[in-house]
Amino acid sequence: MTYETRNAQEQKKRLLAEQLWLHYYNQVLFDKGLISEQERNSMTIRINHRGQSLSISGPP
């Protein structure tokens, strides 16, 4: 396995972990009543879009 392949796999793992935590905290904020359902849904879309744009374009 080349360095580039290993590095790409590590970036994908990190991206997945980041998305999981963001979704988790988004849900916690909603469950505690700190954000509305509309805000939760908006953030879910943003989190998903962020992951798609980063996986296509690569890290900043």
pLDDT of residue 55: 60
pLDDT of residue 13: 92
* Tens-digit pLDDT profile for residues 1-58: 787 888 889 999 999 999 999 999 999 999 999 999 999 999 999 999 986 766 655 5
Count of structural domains within the chain: 1
Which residue carries 């996986």 as its tokens? 55
pTM of this prediction exceeds 0.85: no
Domain assignment of residue 17, yes or no: yes
How far apart, in whole angstroms, are the C-alpha atoms of residue 5 and residue 22? 26
Domain assignment of residue 38, yes or no: yes
pLDDT of residue 56: 55
Domain assignment of residue 22, yes or no: yes
Q: Which domain holds residue 8?
A: 3-50
pLDDT value at 60 more than 80: no
Domain assignment of residue 23, yes or no: yes
Which residue carries 């359902």 as its tokens? 37
Domain assignment of residue 56, yes or no: no
Domain assignment of residue 55, yes or no: no
Domain assignment of residue 28, yes or no: yes
How far apart, in whole angstroms, are the C-alpha atoms of residue 29 and residue 55? 26
The sign of the CA dihedral 38, 43, 49, 52 is negative
